[in-house]
């Protein structure tokens, strides 16, 4: 379905370009768009490669376990249904750390593995557990200490001060995460009362 939507948008855009600006304008826009996309990808590949490598080395070196121990109280409070020592905790920690560094795309593989582990723990396969719901809340809102993806995008776009958004991003994401966690906890209690 999404492919049809994209095809429709491309056809409408090209038709509008032909009508309003002629064939040359559409051709120039297509070439410039492809060039800009390639430059953006090359700029982001470096940042993602570096940080994914660092996160994997950190995991192999035991740093993730050390961070998980430091975050243990918070993780236990957020996810009381996960047994001690379950691999989901490590994947959740990696996901949270990657999100804190503003690398949502780098966090995705860890998030998928965490969801798989959480789904294995879930007794009712037709309903999401409280742990799955809370993980989705924390993952979607994700406090960002250092929004590396946005900084990289601003840098590639030629911003004079690409990191000037750090404080505002931290405030906004902390507020969103807090609101999400509070709402999730309230809904967990409400649904438990109804059972």
SS3 assignment, position 53 = helix
Q: Per-residue confidence at 160, pLDDT binned at 50, 70, 90?
A: very high
Nearest to 138 by CA among 100, 171, 81, 167: 100
Q: Per-residue confidence at 19, pLDDT binned at 50, 70, 90?
A: confident
For residue 183, the surrounding DSSP H or E stretch is: helix 166-194
The answer to whether the pTM exceeds 0.75 is: no
CA distance 92 to 182: 19
DSSP 38-51: HHHHHHHHHHHHHH
Nearest to 139 by CA among 99, 103, 186, 169: 99
Per DSSP (E only), the strands in the chain are: none
The structural domains of the chain, with segments of one domain joined by +, span 49-194
Confidence check: pLDDT of 124 > 90: no
């Amino acid at each position: 379905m999404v492919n049809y939507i994209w095809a429709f948008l491309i056809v409408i855009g090209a038709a509008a370009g032909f009508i309003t600006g002629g064939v040359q304008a559409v051709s120039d826009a297509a070439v410039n768009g492809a060039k800009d996309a390639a430059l953006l990808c090359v700029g982001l590949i470096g940042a993602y490669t570096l940080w994914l490598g660092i996160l994997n080395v950190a995991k192999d070196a035991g740093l993730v376990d050390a961070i998980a121990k430091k975050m243990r109280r918070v993780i236990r409070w957020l996810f009381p249904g996960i047994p001690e020592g379950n691999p989901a905790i490590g994947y959740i920690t990696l996901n949270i750390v990657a999100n804190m560094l503003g690398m949502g795309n780098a966090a995705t593989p860890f998030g998928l593995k965490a969801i798989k582990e959480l789904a294995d723990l879930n007794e009712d396969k037709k309903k999401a557990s409280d742990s799955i719901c809370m993980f989705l809340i924390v993952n979607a809102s994700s406090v960002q200490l250092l929004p590396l993806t946005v900084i990289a995008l601003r840098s590639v776009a030629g911003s004079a001060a690409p990191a000037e958004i750090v404080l505002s991003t931290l405030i906004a994401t902390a507020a969103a995460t807090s609101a999400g966690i509070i709402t999730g906890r309230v809904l967990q209690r409400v649904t438990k009362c109804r059972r």
